[in-house]
Amino acid sequence: MSAYRTLILLTLILALGVVSLGAYVRLSDAGLGCPDWPGCYGHLTPHHAADKIDAALAEDPHGPVSHAKAWKEMAHRYLAGTLGLLVLAIAFAGWRLRRETQGGPVLPVLLLALIIFQALLGMWTVTWLLKPLIVSAHLLGGMATVSLLLWLWLRERGQSGHAYFAQANHLRGAAMFGLLLVVVQIALGGWVSTNYAALACTDFPLCQGQWVPPMDFEHAYTLHRELGETATGELLPMAALTAIHWVHRLMAGVVVLVLSVLVVRLLRAPGYATLGLAIGGLLVLQVSLGIGNVLLSLPLPLAVAHNAGAACLLCALVWLNFRVRRR
């Protein structure tokens, strides 16, 4: 069983890396570095596809294809493929050890189904040319994979490491509400990123010098459309990008308020101070990174860190919900 738990933990760490690398690929405009799937121009590596990449560069030097972007995209695919194999191993081991595990094989099998769907979303991301709905779903699928792996690892630890947590039924509702709000905020942030709306507002706390700038919500939240276009194929207006950014910023304020109250309650609950401090620290970090991305015009390291911070904050809320339900 210790090997099974170690496998889950290593897979969880890799999943966090895949999510962060996926953000790096997306934010560095490398999502179409290899315009086919699963290989690169039909080859296993960009090195073997060098001639075709050179031809694409000669045709359009400023296009989505380059040697660097191809390697970024394929590195993400290699790691994602490794993650898939590890999840397959977890599902197989979970089935074989089903009488010894803490909760049976259902969760490992669910993880395997999710990772297969994630692979399909990864393929559609490329073949459907970065359609925002697909890319956003792929991001949420990655976050869900991390969350389920964390829950599985915590479950398989059994009573080890959390006997000091007191009964906290009074925190269950607040913990679940906080988790749901963070999930919604991640979805909104993903919609900002996949529509390239992060710089629609370049000032803070105002947006374009106003508290409520001109916005187009209809086109902003039309889900079935191509990147940068309305549902009718016209150029997506700036007012739509502004609406996407502004809603994410508004929801951030709600998340800060709700999680701040939750942190205060955790600090007062016996045994929960450490989790409360972790959630509070991650919340401050996320707000700081968000503001920094706006004021510094979205530097790539800060933008990737903002995505990774969202995954860490989500994990902290998942951990909290596990604790208040298991005790």
- Each residue's pLDDT tens digit, 252-276: 999 999 999 999 999 999 999 999 9
The reported pLDDT for the residue numbered 104 is 85
Non-local CB neighbours of 327 within 8 Å, separated by 6+ positions: 162, 165, 166, 167, 168
The reported pLDDT for the residue numbered 159 is 60
Q: Give Rg (Cα) of the chain.
A: 21
The reported pLDDT for the residue numbered 99 is 84
Take residue 302 and report the two structure tokens written for it.
Answer: 């800060």
The reported pLDDT for the residue numbered 167 is 67
> Among candidates 263, 280, 14, which has minimal Cα distance to 150?
14
Whose tokens are 């991390």? That residue is 146
pLDDT in tens, 44-87: 999 999 999 999 999 999 999 999 999 999 999 999 999 999 99
Positions in the chain short of pLDDT 70: 159-167, 327
Note whether 150 and 319 are within 8 A (CB). Answer: yes
The reported pLDDT for the residue numbered 166 is 60
Take residue 260 and report the two structure tokens written for it.
Answer: 């701040």
Identify the active-site residue in 59, 73, 218, 229: 73
The reported pLDDT for the residue numbered 100 is 82
User: How many whole angstroms separate alpha carbon 32 and alpha carbon 41?
Assistant: 11
The reported pLDDT for the residue numbered 102 is 84
User: How many whole angstroms separate alpha carbon 85 and alpha carbon 125?
Assistant: 21
Output the pTM of the full model: 0.95
User: How many whole angstroms separate alpha carbon 295 and alpha carbon 202?
Assistant: 6
The reported pLDDT for the residue numbered 103 is 84
Q: Is 229 a catalytic residue?
A: no
Q: What angle do CA 209, 136, 290 make, to 5 degrees?
A: 35
Chain centroid to CA 92:
26
The reported pLDDT for the residue numbered 158 is 74
The reported pLDDT for the residue numbered 94 is 94
| DSSP tag of 62 | T
